[in-house]
Structure 1
Amino acid sequence: MNRELRRIRPIRRADVQGMHVWELDEDIAMASGITKPRSLEVFQTMYEKYFLKVNQSLLLYSIILDERVIGRAELGLIDRENGNAAFGIVIGEQSSWGKGYGKEAIIELLGVAFNELHLHKVYCEVYAFNQRSLNMMDSLGFHRDGVLREHELFHDVYHDLVVFSMLATEFKEICVGK
């Protein structure tokens, strides 16, 4: 990735309505665990709370390609005392799938987590059936911490979640290797 090109930027109010469309997409909903899409009004209200800084443990970013929003990334459950946070990502524009944009966005998000927030660890949970995301986490060098067996009920079936993490020291090793 061209280091001058930023793939993520802080989310803006103008981004939210377009992101709502992704929540209604069956493929994205399946990968993200969305069982009941929210109305646009509920969706916008949720984001408005974010813009009002109601939750200090959440940072939301838009993933950008050619000046248009193609996805969303987040650092959530930010625990400054213990130095960790969860992260999530979705590429909502399906024509942008499989082109490395999500990977670039995650690397930038990790840069924020480790270099700006000075966290010790980031982690995520991926549905065991989401092979694309599992492959991406492996290719980025995340550690497979384990499996939460039958952890989430989704479409009337309990699904395993694979837990991944990366430490700040591991991220630095990856950056040196590039």
Structure 2
Amino acid sequence: MMKREPRRIRPIRREDVPGMHVWELDEEIAMASGITKPRSLEVFQTMYEKYFLKVNHSLQLYSIILDGRVIGRAELGLIDRENGHAAFGIVIGERTSWGNGYGKEAILELLGVAFEELHLHKVYCEVYTFNERSLNMMKSLRFRQDGILRDHEFFHDAYHDLAVFSMMDTEFRADL
């Protein structure tokens, strides 16, 4: 029998939220995520509580797990079942876990959910062009860069470009 690797992602739980709030307070993580002003823990928890109450049916949140602890967060958002697509996002909040491939593993699992469970046709994301690590990861996962949204978001006193990447279900299955 083949040994199966443990899953890297699982649905987010309420007890995961306070630890994730700490990442929002990290300046480098906030910059890469486009967070201009960190929210208080109370506001942060209220936002997640709405998710747990299933107010938004176009969002699925996951915790990224390593050795039983939460090291990051991943999401499928703007899920459009009629047109068969969703956006995704990811953050590895535990700095000691950066550069070890855990984000890549989590994205592959997230793509499995999107294409095999939700039966979506396309998954896409936007990456700040100054975020070299994320740009390199998208390319290494064979996402196609669809274009650049020039001066698309204003924060930290400047406009920033966003690179748009996508992957189709057929491209994901071809790589399996």
TM-score > 0.5, shorter chain as reference = yes
Q: What is the one-letter code of the residue matched to 1:11?
A: I
Partner of 1:65: 66
CA RMSD of aligned residues (A): 0.7
Aligned-residue offset at 1:154: 1.4
Partner of 2:151: 150
Q: Per-residue displacement from partner, 1:115-141 (whole Å, max 9, x unpaired)?
A: 000000000000000000000000000
Aligned-residue offset at 1:168: 0.1
Residues 2-11 or 54-63, more deviating: 2-11
Aligned-residue offset at 1:3: 4.2
Partner of 1:159: 160
Partner of 1:112: 113
Distance, in Å, in 2 between the alignment partners of 1:149 and 1:169 is 29
**Gaps (5+ residues) in structure 1?**
none
Q: What is the one-letter code of the residue matched to 2:58?
A: S
Distance, in Å, in 2 between the alignment partners of 1:98 and 1:163 is 22
- Is structure 2 residue 175 aligned with structure 1 residue 169? no
Distance, in Å, in 2 between the alignment partners of 1:143 and 1:74 is 19
Distance, in Å, in 2 between the alignment partners of 1:4 and 1:157 is 43
Distance, in Å, in 1 between the alignment partners of 2:149 and 2:32 is 17
Q: What is the one-letter code of the residue matched to 1:5?
A: P
Q: Per-residue displacement from partner, 1:23-67 (whole Å, max 9, x unpaired)?
A: 000110011011100000000000000000000000000000000
Aligned residues: 174
Aligned-residue offset at 1:4: 2.9
Distance, in Å, in 2 between the alignment partners of 1:36 and 1:30 is 10
Q: What is the one-letter code of the residue matched to 2:37?
A: K
Distance, in Å, in 1 between the alignment partners of 2:4 and 2:162 is 33
Q: What is the one-letter code of the residue matched to 1:74?
A: E
Secondary structure of the residue aligned to 2:100 is: coil
**Gaps (5+ residues) in structure 2?**
none
Q: Which consecutive segments of 4 or more residues in structure 1 shift more than 4 A?
A: none
Distance 1:17 1:173, change over 3 A: same
Secondary structure of the residue aligned to 1:4 is: coil
Identity %, equivalent residues: 82
Partner of 1:77: 78
